[in-house]
Each structure stands twice: as structure tokens, then as C-alpha cells.
Structure 1
Amino acid sequence: MSGPLRTLRALLAARRRSLAVIGLALLVVSSVAAVPVIAERPSPGRVATVENPGPAAASAPVVQVENTSAYLDPPADSIQTEEFAVVELDPAAATGVRTARLHGRYTNIRLRETFTAADTDAERRAVVRNTTRRLDGRLDELERRQADALAAYNRGDLSKTAFLRELVAIHAAANAMETTVDQLYTFDRAAGMPISQSSIARLKARLVPLQGPVRARLAASVTSGQTDRVYVMASETGVVLATLVEGEFTTRYVREAFYGGAFDDQFSDRPIEIGAFRDRVAELYPWTWTNGNADTVLTSEPFYQRAGVYGIAFKHPHGTVGDSDLVAFYDAGTGEVFYETQRKDVEATPHPLVASTTGDGIRLELRGTHPGGPLDIRVVNATDGTPVDARVTLNGDRIGRTGNESLWTLAPRDSFVVTASTPDGNVTATTSI
């Protein structure tokens, strides 16, 4: 008998275990107030790029970049908002994260204890059905919450701080639900599968757009006090988040992108062969396919394919140590990638010169990748090329100092102004990527 089912039999043998812990958990969860959406006014730096757009395009392009990995980006005419935010210790957001995690733990306890306490196969099947119904309803709530937050943010009724607070809380809830969905699948098999594998796979697939590595980073920021500068771009049905993570030896670029226009949340039954999926990925990510090592991602049961969703992960030469460098989720119903995460080593990624300006004996050099991507800012002596320490602003926002090397930040989508200030003078460059 396999490990999960052997464990399950042991649980059933001890099924008379007290359920008091469930009542206690319910009391604790119900006593914690949910953090509301705070309708703060947007900051003056907000850029609304599309006024009252129509319905989003049917598919989102995977944008090609020379000599590095392509990336998922909502269609340009669907982008409504783009700006930068600084995320740091936030008691309100931290409360939302802790509440979501507590709710997830309670749900896990409730499922395990009620299934273990069931006396008959019929009762166990009822536990599985009822849990599936509750999880489906909880997912409906999270999806509505994300859609409502996105709409309010694009209207200008929600500030970037409140918007990110919502996304972080949703991430925490979705992340906690993953464990419950996996546990539900194990119990479903033990009960004779009263719920189809495809139904549970759909629950699993719906969790994908509700979380991501940037949100995970921001969840740590609001609870621990670390500070992160994050790029935020929103379309009618999608959101892109990106940030830079300073390591001991390298700086990592981390990005997550979701485009709802490429996601068939009705899960049309249009399965494809794995070979056809891999051919499509090779078409969308040619550089990565040629230069990277690919593997299917998150292949534990229930498989995403049962919901018509396919995932693949890559390691490639411009990536980082540890995590997958590119993860893409493809919807067979739309024939498009709807969700993607990227992790890159900024130094390893090609970043050609996009601007160079000289003044007051210093030269300002900008090297970039793509909108929302890494931007390298260097200030050197105009005569001998040695590094010069300078204070740097981007569109008037102070972002740091170059020190003895260079300063990495994130590039805006539209034209932007970088100013480097030293005791000997200032130099300014205006450019776009």
C-alpha cells in the first residue's frame, strides 16, 4: 500500500480522536477580523495608460527578447496602470497574511479530523464532497476578491499600497489551500473517488493565478520589515509584479505575470498531447527551449492536465541557483500561456546600452532589458572610466547610490528620466526601453 494510503489507514484506526481542536480553531479564525480593502487614493506617480478600454484581447503575447528568455506580457492596448511601490513592514497586511494562514490550517485540521472520525464509507464520501464544495466556494471568494481589487486599482479607487496588500493576503490564502487540495485528493482516493480527479485538478489549477514568487517576497516584507521596491503593472484582467532581490554575490530579478484573457476558467475539455504542448512551448520560448533544460512542473497528482492546464519549468544560463528560472502555465482551451514566473541573475542577462550622457566630468550610462525589467545605472569618470559614487533618482524618486560599481533598479514602460548627482555636478539622461 502506498505511503499516503498507509498513513490514512493509521488515521482511520484512531478515528475516535477528539474533534475539540476543530472547535477551538473555528473560534480563533472567526474571532480574527478580515482586513478590508482600503480605498485609498492613488499616489501622484500613478500612470494610467489606457482610458476606459474595451474587453481585453483574446490572447496575450509572449514577447521575444534577443539572446535571453521571452516573457509573458499583457497586450499593450490593455494596460491600464503602471507604477512602482516600496513595500515594507505593514501591520495591516501582516494581519491579513496571518489570518489567511490560520484559516488554511483550520481547513486542513477540519478535513483530516472529520474524515478520520467518519464511521462508514458513506460518511467519508460525504466529507470529501462537502470539503470540495467548501473549497470551491472559498476559491470563488478569492477570485472575486482579486478581480474586485484589480478593477478598483485600475479605476483609481485603490492605492498601490492597498492593492498590493490585497494581493499578498490572497496569495497567503491560496498558498495555504494547496495543502488542503492535495490532502483532499488523497482522501478522495481512499473513499472510492466520489469526486472526479478532473474536479480536484481544476481546484488546483485555479490556485495558480492567485499566488506567485513576488507576492511571497512581499508577504515576507510586510511581516518581517525587509524593504522591497516592486514594479506593478495592471491590465483589465491581468497583473505583472517584479522586484530585485539582493543576494550575497548576485542580484536576482524575480517576476510573475498573469493574464486572464488567456485563461479559460470554465476549463474547456480540449486536452492535447504532451508532445504538442512541448512543441508549442518551443515556439513561444525559442531561446529558452534551445539553451535551457526543461521539465514538466508540479507533476504530483492530481495532474494539471486533467483540467486542461499544462505546466513546464526551465533552468537556463541566465537564471539563478536553486529555483526554476522560467515556469509557464499553458491553457489548452485558449492555446496560450496565461501565467508565468521568471527568475534571472541580472549580471548574466544581456543588458545593452540604451543611453549615455556626459556632463560635469562624469558620464551616466544606462543599460536595460525590457519594460519592468532590470536597469543597470552606472556613473563613471568621463576621462578615465573609473566608477563614481552618485546619488540616483528615477523620474524624481530617489532609488539609491551607485557606489563603486553600479546600481540596479527596474525600468518603467514609458520614457523616463535618470539623474545622477555627485559633489562635482549632476548629469541627466532621458530614454525609454
Structure 2
Amino acid sequence: MRALPVLVAILLLVVPVAAATSPAADSESSAAVEAPGPAPIDSADAVDPADAVDPTDPVEPPRLPSDPSQIDESNLTFRTLSAPADADSRVTSVVRGANLGPALSFSVDEAGAAAETAAVVDRVENAETTTERQRLILAALSRVERDEVSLYSRQAAAFSAHASGNLSDRELLDELVRISATAREYDERLEEIDALAEQTDGFSSPTRLDELQVALQVYEGPVRDLAVAAARAEVSATEIHVESTASSVTLAAIVDGEYVRETFRNDRWDRGGGAISNDAAINVTTESYPETAALRAPDAFGAGSVQRITIPHEYGLLRVFVSGGTEQVFVEHQRIDLDAFPDSERVSETGDGFNVTVDRSYAGGPVTVTVLDEETGEPDPDVTVTKSVGGGDSRAIGTTNADGVVRTLSPADSYRITVVDEPRVVVVDGLRPIATPRLEDDE
């Protein structure tokens, strides 16, 4: 493990954030099970569990065979984990862009955690006896267990503070990014501890190490990674949807032709719950996301009370974490190809030479605005499109591309879309989000 003094932290500003590949995915003690799926897949296209796609990776997800589709697209939907139905939600949006202060603080936090990992390795390797070495390994593992509890408490406090209006959108995102980066470093520390244990005579890694590795992964997420990348100016400024309750947070964004979403529900995570098997977690996921599970068989990784289920499919990727005790999904990561996004309803308006179509979706979901020439039906590029929420001021969301398309995120309130190419103007008013396609067990 590398040693990173805090003074080196500034250098990290120019280094992209990479999603860690957790040893939980490769550990022999973390079983991998693939459930039978209704859509058969050629062996050449099968996904090895060890190579399951991480939702933060820029790699295009595996595609289904090019045979005639067995998918009934008219019934296709992507259910999503959302805030509790009966909770009071605070729904906002923030444009996340380059910001040196938070970017520097993220790097300092990462460097500090990495330096502690290096110190742990050094102490164990310099132990004078095997007994002392074992004691130091167990002490380091116990320290990570306590630190994970602290991460959970910090995150729960951030959820509650944002929901009550005591934490701004930017402050919430900064805290979630710090928690994610710290959890990733703890995961890497466990990898080092595991290697040290294997190198110790008469000693092996405790089972709880594997369980803890999976539990730490729940604090990561694709929108959190996008937020830190934007702060470090690695990607352009991005609108992020934020919805919080006292026990949950949902983040969503549009990036590189995909809709990206993550939800964390504390009320569905039984931290003291018993173990849950791969098969049981797969069944929970299949029942919660029947349409998505029909696209491709899920892969399961996990140990103890938390299981991670991944479904790479034709239109993107779903990754969830299932809790023992509740036997419910409590964390969800979604990546969905915008060109194939099915959960929308269309509204059209014609005038001033424009034919404008707005494909609405649920709060926090993608909204697609398409502008065509009224006479020719051809796409109308470079046309400015604005959005006004709840009677507020109109704000530009962008200009149409070569296909006459521009996208934004749906607010929770009524909104208005305006297409402007002076002196021509078309207004699509009275728009509202559609109902969220909630999980089968969360309706």
C-alpha cells in the first residue's frame, strides 16, 4: 500500500477519481451466484462474476445477443428505489461545477486515510512475534469496523440535516463525497489486512473482513463520483437532482448519454440483521425489479448480512445492495441509456414554425425536449431551450443538438419548457412529472 503524506494531497487534484475494485468481488469467501433468467444468453456473451461491470466505470455495459429481441418493449420499465412514499421530501437541484476548495479537501481526506493504511501495514510488518502480528491485524480490523459505524452515523446525520434545511445541496454533496472516498480507502485497507493475514503463519482472515468489505461499498455511488469529478473540473458542470428525507437520499444526473441515479434508504437496512444468502438476495432483486431482471440474469456477491446484486443489461446497468433482516433492497445504482429510456409520457406543441415534443418522466428523471421544423419535420439544431419551475424564472437548459434534442432533469413541481429562436417562441406549459415506477415491495 502506498504512503501518501498530506503534503502530496494537492497533486491529487490532477488525478482522476477511479472506482475501486473491491476484493469482495474476487474473494473466494464471497460467493457468486447467477440466477436463471428468462432471456437465454449465448455462452460467449455470458458475464463472469469476477468481471461484473462497476456502475462507475465508463465501459459500455455488455449487450444482449443480436438475435431477434425477446423483450416486449411496450411493457418495459425500469423500477427505481425512491424516498419513502409517506415521508416529507426536500427536493432540489444544484449545478455542480469546478470548485478548488472542496476538491482540495477531498484529496487531503484521501491522503490522510491512505497514510493511516500505510502506518497499519508498517506496524504489522515490523511486529517482533507472530502473536503480536496477529494482535495488530485484529486491532486494525476492529478499527475499520468502528470507523464504518462512524461513516454510517455521519451519512445519516447528513440526510437528516439536508431534509430539515440545515444543510445546503453543496454541503450535502461534499459530505457524501468525503464519506465515499473514505469508505473506498477503508476497503483498500481491508485488502492490505487480508494480505497480511494470509502471510501470517497459523492465521487467516476472519470472516467478518469479507462482510465488512461489502458493507463499505454501499457508501460509493455513480453520482457521488460524478460530483467529485465535476469539482475537480474533470467533467463539465452538471445539474444534479437531490431528494432527501430524514432516512434517505436520492441523487440523479445526466452524463454522456446516460441517466445516472443512486438512492440510499436507511429505513430498509437492518444493520443488526442476520445473514442473507446469494439466492435469497437474487430472489429479492428479481421480485423488486421484475422487468429489469427479465433482461439478464443477476449476479450476486456478498457475505453475511449484505449482498450486492448486479444486472448488466441491454439498456444499461442496475446494481443494488440487499439487507439481511429486512430482506429488502436498501441501496440502488442505475445507469440507463437515454435513447432507450422507457418511463416517459409525451406532450407536444406546434407553432411559430416549430414542432416541440417534451417526453416527461418522474421527479428526478430525464426530460427530453425535441425540436423539429414544423414544415419539413427535420431536426432544428442550435435552438435555445429554457425551463421554469413552479412559476419561477426561466433558465436555459441548453441548445438543441444535431438531432434537435436537449435534455434536463424533471423537477417535482409543475414546470414550463420554452423554445426560443427570436423572434420565434413556443411555450409548453403546465407540465408535471409522471408517477415514479417504484419497487414492487415499496409501493
TM-score tier, shorter chain, comes to: 0.7 to 0.9
Q: Which moved more, 1:327-336 or 1:105-114?
A: 105-114
Aligned to 2:372: 380
Aligned to 2:29: none
Which of residues 369, 387, 390 is equivalent to 1:394? 387
**Structure 2 matches for 1:172-321, cutoff 5 A?**
172-191=181-200, 192=202, 196-198=206-208, 200-224=209-233, 226=235, 227-246=237-256, 251-266=257-272, 268-272=273-277, 274-296=278-300, 299=301, 304-306=302-304, 308-319=305-316
Q: Which moved more, 1:219-228 or 1:189-198?
A: 189-198
Aligned to 1:331: 323
Is the alpha carbon distance of 1:145 and 1:96 closer, same or farther for their aligned partners in structure 2, counting shifts above 3 Å?
farther
Which of residues 313, 321, 338 is equivalent to 1:346? 338
Aligned to 2:431: 431
2-structure distance, mates of 1:73, 1:66: 21
Point out 4+ residue stretches in structure 1 off by more than 6 angstroms. Answer: 26-29
The CA deviation string for residues 41-94 of structure 1, in whole angstroms up to 9 with x for no partner, is: xxxxxxxxxxxxxxxxxxxxxxxx940332111223224211111111112211
Alignment RMSD (CA, Å): 2.5
2-structure distance, mates of 1:27, 1:113: 20
What residue ranges of structure 1 are gaps of 5+ in the alignment?
Answer: 1-10, 12-20, 30-64, 320-324
Shift of 1:224: 2.6
Shift of 1:232: 1.0
Aligned to 1:125: 134
CA contact (8 A) 1:79 1:233 kept: no
The CA deviation string for residues 228-276 of structure 1, in whole angstroms up to 9 with x for no partner, is: 1111111211111111112xxxx1121111111111122x22434x333
Which of residues 352, 355, 377 is equivalent to 1:360? 352
Please, what TM-score do these two structures have when normalized by structure 2?
0.75
Aligned to 1:139: 148
* Number of residue pairs matched by the alignment: 359
2-structure distance, mates of 1:66, 1:338: 25
2-structure distance, mates of 1:79, 1:259: 14
Aligned to 2:406: 407
Shift of 1:370: 2.9
CA contact (8 A) 1:85 1:232 kept: yes
2:340 aligned counterpart, secondary structure: coil
1-structure distance, mates of 2:419, 2:265: 36
Is the alpha carbon distance of 1:96 and 1:145 closer, same or farther for their aligned partners in structure 2, counting shifts above 3 Å?
farther
**Structure possessing the higher relative contact order (Cα contacts under 8 Å, 6 or more residues apart):** 2
CA contact (8 A) 1:240 1:258 kept: yes
CA contact (8 A) 2:91 2:242 kept: yes
Aligned to 1:87: 96
Shift of 1:147: 2.1
2-structure distance, mates of 1:116, 1:224: 39
Is the alpha carbon distance of 1:143 and 1:275 closer, same or farther for their aligned partners in structure 2, counting shifts above 3 Å?
closer
CA contact (8 A) 2:221 2:333 kept: yes
Is the alpha carbon distance of 1:357 and 1:106 closer, same or farther for their aligned partners in structure 2, counting shifts above 3 Å?
same
2:332 aligned counterpart, secondary structure: strand
Please, what TM-score do these two structures have when normalized by structure 1?
0.76
The CA deviation string for residues 151-175 of structure 1, in whole angstroms up to 9 with x for no partner, is: 2212212211121111112211112
Shift of 1:377: 0.5
1-structure distance, mates of 2:243, 2:296: 28
